[in-house]
Amino acid sequence: MVVLTAVFAGGTPAYASTDADPQDVAAAVSEAAPTDLAALPAQQSQDEVISTFNEGGTASVGIDPLAGLTFTTDSGEQGATMTIPGADSLSDGVVAEDGSVTYAGNAHVPSVNVLTAEDAVRISTVITSGGQTENFDYDFGAGATVEIQEDGSALVLRDGEATSAGTSEQIVADIDTPWATDAAGAAVETYYVADGSVLTQVVKHQGADVAYPVVADPSYDQPNIIQHRIRFNRAETATIATGGWGGVIGSFTCGIMAPVCALASGALAYNAGVAQNSNPKRCVQVTATSPGITPGIIWWVDTYAGGPCR
């Protein structure tokens, strides 16, 4: 999955918006970041910088900003792909001393810094003036759907196998709640908007009392792992709540997720009851790091609103 992160605080290096220096951009992000991340060792060619995660899978960061980012998973599948905001106006990527890749912007387009670490990919956008946009688009490509969560974070999903309980989904990116900070360390209003495969971070800096530069952040968590999820609608949730898993196993199946559903049957029944007693009504869902029972599998059951919960 994926984590996007933006950072900035007072006392960081300054640079001109017309000729942003890649090293200065990287240093500013590194100093302001709330969490220290160490870049993975990488192989660089003329076209890309490739990092390999310790548990398998790779992240490829294109030198040409139009190439964007491409991930493979720990099982060798293609994971998420994503574009870089303002890519058509950015300079080619330069690898900084900290191992991150910086795409220098100009007076009209913010610079972007990408750092690939073991558990996250941090993408930092540095806004240097009120004349620069408030909207930063990340497109995850054909077949992807972005879903905003109740806490403001986001998931990027691809449809999986159709089952009688609905369609299972692959979660290819898990994106942290957005935040943005100005050069004085003050928070700047920010939130996500989803439109199909596009995640847009909105940063409300224009006309606001902010000290530039402002850094805005999404972070892509565990990009070398694809998770699987299946959601039950209200009728299915009600059946599970009243009859437990045994009462509904003949009515529908979880398809590829059947082993996980069987393992989680008790938690499904309990959480379905919680969902039934909620107001407004919620529904139950199960998520796992593997659709089968494999060594190291992690699964959890919780409730949700919206989507197929109707």
Q: Give pLDDT, residue 306.
A: 86
pLDDT beyond 50 at 233: yes
pTM of the predicted model, to two decimals? 0.82
Give the pLDDT band of residue 201 (cuts 50, 70, 90).
Answer: very high
- 3-state class (DSSP) for residue 27: helix
Look-up of token digits 């995850």: 140
Average pLDDT over residues 119-144: 92
pLDDT beyond 90 at 54: no
Q: Give pLDDT, residue 196.
A: 95
Give the tens place of pLDDT for each residue, 84-106: 999 999 999 999 989 999 999 98
Alpha helix (H) residue ranges in the chain: 22-32, 234-243, 258-263, 265-276
pLDDT beyond 90 at 169: no
Give the pLDDT band of residue 251 (cuts 50, 70, 90).
Answer: very low
- DSSP string across 160-219: EEEETTEEEEEEEEEEPPPEEE-TTS-B--EEEEEETTEEEEEE--TTS--PSPEEEE-E
Please choose, from the candidates 42, 40, 16, the residue with its C-alpha nearest in 3D space to the C-alpha of residue 28: 16
Q: How many residues does the chain have?
A: 310
pLDDT above 70: percentage of residues in the chain: 87
- The Cα–Cα gap between 116 and 193 comes to 24
Q: Are 199 and 137 in contact (CB under 8 A)?
A: yes
What would the two tokens of residue 203 be? 């940063």
Give the CA dihedral 70, 76, 79, 85, nearest 10 degrees.
Answer: -10
What would the two tokens of residue 157 be? 């999903």
pLDDT beyond 50 at 245: yes
Average pLDDT over residues 252-262: 80
Q: Give pLDDT, residue 310.
A: 82
pLDDT beyond 80 at 265: yes
Q: Are 54 and 149 in contact (CB under 8 A)?
A: no
